[in-house]
Structure 1
Amino acid sequence: MSTDLAALIDSLPLVDHHVHGASAHDLSRTAFEELITESDRPVPGWMTQFDSQVGYAILRHCAPVLGLDPHASPEEYLARRAVLGADEVNARLLEASGIGHFLIETGYRGEEILSPSGMAEVAGVPADEVVRLEAVAEQVAADGVEADAFAGRFAEALWDRTRTARGLKSIVAYRHGLDFDPAPPTPEEVTEAAGRWLASGGRVEDPVLLRHLIWTGLERGLPLQFHIGYGDPDVDLHRSDPLLLRGLIELAEPTGVPLLLLHCYPYQRHAGFLAQVYPNVYFDVGLGVNYTGARSVAVVAESLELAPFAKLLFSSDAWGPAELHHLGAVLWRRAMSRVLGGFVDAGEWSAEQAARVAVMVGAENARRVYGLGAGA
């Protein structure tokens, strides 16, 4: 592996194009372990979440940042974390990540984590917002609206809410699945569906309304992110295959709006195909990198198989413990160094080509797609 290439990748100010805030408070062992898994069930008493790829990665890569030897025990790690306190832990791990710009999606339990401005203050780098469509719709409903006025109120609220945002996100994969009718619903269908939803309450799950939110988002014109694949048990994994979005991708193509497929594990090869054949599709393997730990090199390698390199972005999808923000960057850098360095060592790529791809995926593609301007 080229030492020059590894040094370039290690020093690259990454753009984390899909991430959430870090935990603003100290965490008990129980709380910490529940936040380093996508399970929403309590951790059984006979096991620990540290005995996992992500757990071992924390003990290997985060322990030294907090002043411990690599491979510290969970007890040593959590004791050190408690002594330092949440503010110091966040500052150390976010700085060590080398992330130069955060695009923070704020629609999930935002009151428990740092806001974009809070992240910018702690990390000392820019942090912009990505707005979740479903969260805006649910706020419109909570504020009170009649069914026949819902579409107009949602559009007004979305435009107002996104005045300074860099992108939008849909969690239709969670709320229904990606196997929805891709065509925009009629105004009459939206009013009827809004009436049913507003009468019953709860979160927005009606596929007609979810389609309407997506098409209103496309009208807004900001890059539109979609959760794909791996997530907590609220997602039906076989209905979150990105190939199910093909109809929407084709109908949305004339809008020119970039569609960004997030996470994608275990469907990263499907996402690579879509990014290859459709000019409006981009993807990342963010969440899968953290949770595959020592095996994340294979995930990153598969993400580089089909898609043009201008269509692939970096993300961590970290939420909560700042360890996940740090690991997202560390494991991605490690994987890219090994994969691209292997191409160079085998004589398949030049060192210059490898460096170009690392910079594109790590920062330049996101800066272009989201209009962030030149990096530092």
Structure 2
Amino acid sequence: MRLALPPLVDHHCHGVVRHGLEDDGAFTSYLTESNAPPAPGTSFFDTQLGFAVRRWCPPLLGLDPHCPPERYLARRRELGSAEAARLLLRASGTGTYLVDTGLPGDLTGPGELAELGGGSARVIVRLESLAERTADATPDPDGFLETFGTAFIASARTAAGFKSIAAYRYGLALEPDPPTAGEVHAAAERWLEDRPPGGRLTDPVLLRHLLWSAVGTGLPLQLHTGFGDPDLRLDHCDPLLLTDFIRAVGPGGSPLVLLHGYPYHRHAAYLANVFTHVYADVGLALSHTGARAEAVLAEALELTPFGKLLYSSDAYGLPELYVVGARVFEDALGRLLDGWTSSGAWSPQDAERVAHLLAAGNATRLYGLTAD
């Protein structure tokens, strides 16, 4: 069915690269989660995501769908990075960007992204990045904990929510309960003593401290689960490993948002089904599965309550990924709803209502955004 959706709320995304995408290798590195080269004789355009970029993006820059990658990149160079980003972002249909600002690089900030895209933006604070910046400036344990606490409180006043990548740094099989103050201090002392300059936070006690600090604010806490780059161990990222933590947080704590999930998206759907304060999304998974996105979205909707599944693109680096995230989501959802309404399983009215919830309504409610 043809959906008349409101402007999308992209509840999990990142900035786009300002410069440096002039050649094929720089561009296509953003089409994969791998840090290895493509198979000989191919490029990362030869993926579901690469084909989706070639389907949806060339017409927005005045080219035919599925034009050769070389022609597409040449047209991008003709326009320049800023103009290409403006055209692509404004065509994505995104009205609100909730931006994880924890990634390094020459990326647009939330305000710049919103201006390019003609929408609005809010910040999602990445907990580990906040702690690492604090450690860079204050390597003494007492000073670190005090400074982090002050910075954390200040960020909570303006942030739309928090995000943790504990799945990358340790895995999701963390002890579920909050650590004691003594445990936190001892862990900070160990970490700061051994930490090389710019070193990552991997200590499980400190990661738990960050999670429980976020839970105490009542703001949504996004948790990476499932699919990601080779820094993680996928078997350590099954959202079911969070079950005891979810129980410990309880419905009185922060809403917990399970990001991505794939290939464990059915596990995330189960958790959203049985725990009041758990939500899910399939951002990243839909873009990377491309022509198979309908099947992934259908599996997520088997158990996830319709008021608890959120749209995101997880776009990073390329404005094209905002377009692909939006178009693949809308296309997959439209084809699903066509089948469900034509069979009589769903009414057209219910299909339209649920589509609006997934596209914007659920995120607007969860993050306390102002509805348009």
Q: Tell me the TM-score normalised to structure 2 length.
A: 0.96
SS of the equivalent of 2:307 reads helix
SS at match of 2:177: coil
- From 31, 37, 43, the counterpart of 2:32: 37
Is residue 26–residue 82 contact of structure 1 (8 Å, CA) maintained in 2? no
Confirm or deny: 8 A CA contact 1:170 1:226 kept in the other structure: yes
Q: Offset of 1:45 from its aligned partner?
A: 5.0
> Contact conserved, 1:34 with 1:43, CA < 8 A, in 2?
no
Contact 2:217 2:254 in 1 (8 A): no
Cα displacement string for residues 179-201 of structure 1 (whole angstroms, at most 9, x for unaligned residues): 11011111111111111110111
Matches within 5 A, 1:210-249: 210-249=207-246
The residue number in structure 2 matching 1:79 is 74
2:10–2:311 Cα contact (<8 Å) kept: yes
User: After superposition, where does 1:120-159 map in structure 2 within 5 Å?
Assistant: 120-159=114-153
Residue in 2 aligned with 1:357? 354
Instruction: Give the drift of 1:252.
Output: 0.5
**Contact 1:53 1:291 (C-alpha < 8 Å) held by counterparts:** yes
Distance in 1, matches of 2:43 and 2:274, equals: 43
Matches within 5 A, 1:1-376: 2=1, 6-9=2-5, 12-27=6-21, 28-43=23-38, 45-109=40-104, 111-201=105-195, 202-375=199-372
Shift in Å, 1:149 = 4.3
CA distance in 1, matches of 2:328, 2:113: 21
How far did residue 254 of structure 1 move?
A: 4.4
- Judge conservation of contact 1:314–1:361 (CA < 8 Å) in 2: yes
Identity of paired residues, percent? 50
Distance 1:18 1:199, change over 3 A: same
Whether contact under 8 Å (2:20, 2:26) holds in the other structure is no
Unaligned runs of 5+ in 2: none
- Between stretches 156-165 and 290-299, larger displacement belongs to 156-165
- For the residue of structure 1 that corresponds to 2:31, the secondary structure is coil
Q: How many residues matched? A: 368
Q: Is the contact between residue 255 and residue 279 of structure 2 (CA under 8 Å) also seen in structure 1?
A: yes
Superposed CA RMSD in Å reads 1.2
Give 1:44 deviation, angstroms: 5.2
Give CA-to-partner distance per residue, 1:49-95, whole Å, 9 cap, x none: 11111111111111111111111011111111111111111111111
Structure 2 SS opposite 1:283? strand
SS in 2 for 1:289: helix
Distance 1:311 1:295 in 2: 22
Q: Which runs of 5+ in 1 are unaligned?
A: none
TM-score of the two chains, using structure 1 as the length reference: 0.95
CA distance in 2 between partners of 1:223 and 1:66 (Å) = 36
Helix, strand or coil for the counterpart of 1:177? coil
Deviations 1:336-360 (A, max 9, x none): 1001121101111100000000000
Alpha-carbon distance between aligned partners in 1 of 2:68 and 2:296, rounded to the nearest angstrom: 27
Q: Distance in 2 between matches of 1:309 and 1:137?
A: 35
* Distance in 2 separating the partners of 1:130 and 1:311: 19
Is the partner of 1:15 in helix, strand or coil? Answer: strand
Which string of whole-angstrom CA distances, capped at 9 and with x for unpartnered residues, describes residues 95-119 of structure 1? 111011000000011x421100101
SS in 1 for 2:271: helix
